[in-house]
Homo-oligomer: A and B are copies of this chain.
Amino acid sequence: MSINIAATNHQVRLARRPSGMPARADWAFTAEPVAAPAAGGVLVKTLDLSLDPAMRGWMNEGKSYIAPVGIDEVMRAGGIGVVVASEHSAFSAGQYVSGALGVQEYANFPADQIARGALVPIDLALGTRLQWLNVLGMPGMTAYFGLMDVGEPKAGETVVVSGAAGAVGQTVGQLAKIKGCRVVGIAGGAAKCEWVVRELGFDACIDYKAGAVKDGLKQHCPKGVDIYFDNVGGEILDAVLTRINRKARIVICGAISQYNNTEAVKGPANYLSLLVNRAKMEGIVVFDNTARFPLAIAEMAGYLKAGTMKSREDVVRGLDTFPESLLKLFRGENFGKLVLQVAEG
């Protein structure tokens, strides 16, 4: 398989650091010729890009778990692509790969990046391309290591997960069910709540748009909350803190309610419940566990095959729609893992 080197690579670059919700004017749309891979390099054509809440953090200046995206740089994004030209012995044209492709149509990986593991072949026998961005990808790994390492679920315990219909939340809940827990989701809207209960088998789901989360927790967690997997922060975190059990574990995975704040983040006013209940709150970053991904992927692929784990993706199309598509996450409009299809495979 060879590439028409005359092809154009359309890109979305960060033009300026957004204040609050990112606007179209925060992005620059550029085009440049596609270059052939250098010696030892690989050229990948982007098929599907993962749109993630964490992207909002990457747009901000300042120290975080990963360097911010620079101004005028192609926006960082993980994705699935197909090798169109390879000068590397481990990759060949036509092969499907996963990596930080960026929000662009083609990505060139030089030899040194490949040596650091930047490009990983994916096995479509374990799951579909979309599943490789969801249950078998970063959201699934985040769910797996956050729940297992920090949450340490025991059969019979009650697990609450916010963003329950989102990419990480859906997998946290299903995995906790597989581990024998009572699982209560928190999501926005009746449709999402119905889906996580009917389709994913959660025991209950609290619609935070329909009433007080505190009341829902009282009703659906009669034995209190042993593990809370937090994707949203803000008032929902505070509500759950009032219902935790002794020695509860709170996994801090994200805080989507706070990412577009222009004022200070709202800290959890009820954090002293940690003291009263000798409980802990611990942050996780999925990249710490890359060495253990293969084992976790194998376990999750087994659940997919067995049908005990379902994977839902919300696919939007077209590189040009990136600025608006990303906002679906912060408006709670996505239903399952949000994926931007850039090209058909």
Contacts and interface: CB of A to CB of B under 8 A. Distances in A.
Interface string A244-282: 000000001111001000001111111111111111111
A258 B272 contact: yes
A281 B278 contact: no
Contacts of A288: 278
A42 B63 CA distance: 61
A156 interface: no
A64 interface: yes
Contact of A265 (B255, B264, B270, B283): B270
| Most chain B beta-carbon contacts within 10 A, residue among A65, A238, A252, A274 | A252
| Most chain B beta-carbon contacts within 10 A, residue among A278, A285, A288 | A278
Given A64-B276, A278-B284, A283-B279, A268 B271 contact: yes
Contacts of A63: 276
A275 B259 CA distance: 13
Given A277-B283, A278-B284, A272 B233 contact: yes
Contacts of A278: 65, 282-285, 288
B280 A275 contact: no
A277 B65 CA distance: 7
Which secondary structure characterizes the binding site on chain A? loop
A282 to B, nearest CB: 4
A267 B270 contact: yes
A274 B281 contact: yes
Interface string A99-118: 00000000000000000000
A154 to B, nearest CB: 18
A252 B274 contact: yes
Given A267-B266, A272-B252, A274-B252, A280 B283 contact: yes
A240 to B, nearest CB: 13
Given A64-B276, A276-B64, A281 B271 contact: yes
A284 B63 CA distance: 30
A279 B282 contact: yes
Nearest to A271: B267
A275 B267 contact: no
A270 to B, nearest CB: 7
Contacts of A285: 275-276, 278
A272 B283 CA distance: 8
A47 to B, nearest CB: 30
| Most chain B beta-carbon contacts within 10 A, residue among A265, A268, A280 | A280
A30 B270 CA distance: 36
| Most chain B beta-carbon contacts within 10 A, residue among A238, A254, A276 | A276
B280 A282 contact: yes
14 contacts: A65-B277, A65-B278, A252-B274, A252-B275, A253-B275, A267-B269, A268-B268, A273-B283, A274-B282, A275-B285, A278-B282, A278-B283, A278-B285, A280-B280
Interface of A: 63-65, 233, 238, 252-255, 258, 264-285, 288
